[in-house]
């Protein structure tokens, strides 16, 4: 994982974006193996602005990719192709993890910006794949 000013190209980002995109338009629960479930104290979608917001104890689960995320708020800006998770953000995919106060994923650029709480750091754990055996 390459870090640049708290920006990283990370496999978690693409999966999160796909998950939120699919979660907003699935036909019915259980019919799509690529579906994501979003649980929150409150959820709101605005068809005029293209903004989907989930607030309060937000949990995202994307079983097809073994991805889960927790935050206090998740906002998907469809017109800007941007997803923002805020408030004690934890993203996990298998053994890979990312923790930050805020995570911004720019879908069109394929980048993640992880922002820490003031005076703290972002933490990420990325487990490298096993090397391929030599022939």
Q: Return per-residue pLDDT of the chain as tens, 135 residues.
A: 333 333 333 434 443 443 344 344 434 445 677 777 889 999 999 999 999 999 999 998 878 778 789 999 999 898 998 889 999 999 998 889 999 999 998 878 878 899 998 899 999 998 988 888 887
Instruction: Read off the tokens for 131.
Output: 């090397």
How high is the pLDDT of residue 81? 87
The reply to whether the predicted model has a pTM over 0.85 is: no
Nearest of 93, 72, 76, 92 to residue 84 by alpha carbon: 76
Note whether 37 and 53 are within 8 A (CB): no
Nearest of 24, 26, 23 to residue 47 by alpha carbon: 24
Coil, helix or strand for 60? strand
How high is the pLDDT of residue 31? 61
Buried-state track 82-99, b at ≥16 Cβ within 10 A, e below 16 = bbbbbeebebbbeebebb
Dihedrals φ, ψ of 24, to 5°? -80, -20
Other CB atoms within 10 Å distance of the CB of residue 32:
14
Instruction: Read off the tokens for 68.
Output: 């889960």
How high is the pLDDT of residue 30? 54
Instruction: Read off the tokens for 5.
Output: 């000013």
**Topology of the domain comprising 3-24+35-125:** lipopolysaccharide transport protein A fold (2.60.450)
How high is the pLDDT of residue 88? 94
CA distance 18 to 133: 32
């Amino acid at each position: 994982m390459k870090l640049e000013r708290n920006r990283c190209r990370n496999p978690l980002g693409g999966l999160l974006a796909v998950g939120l995109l699919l979660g907003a338009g699935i036909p019915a629960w259980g019919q799509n193996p690529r579906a994501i479930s979003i649980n929150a104290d409150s959820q709101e979608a605005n068809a005029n602005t293209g903004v989907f917001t989930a607030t309060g104890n937000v949990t995202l689960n994307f079983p097809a990719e073994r991805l889960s995320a927790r935050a206090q708020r998740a906002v998907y800006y469809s017109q800007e192709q941007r997803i923002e998770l805020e408030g004690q953000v934890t993203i996990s995919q298998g053994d890979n993890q990312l923790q930050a106060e805020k995570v911004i994923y720019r879908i069109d650029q394929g980048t993640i910006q992880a922002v820490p709480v003031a005076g703290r750091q972002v933490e990420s754990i990325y487990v490298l794949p096993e090397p391929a055996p030599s022939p």
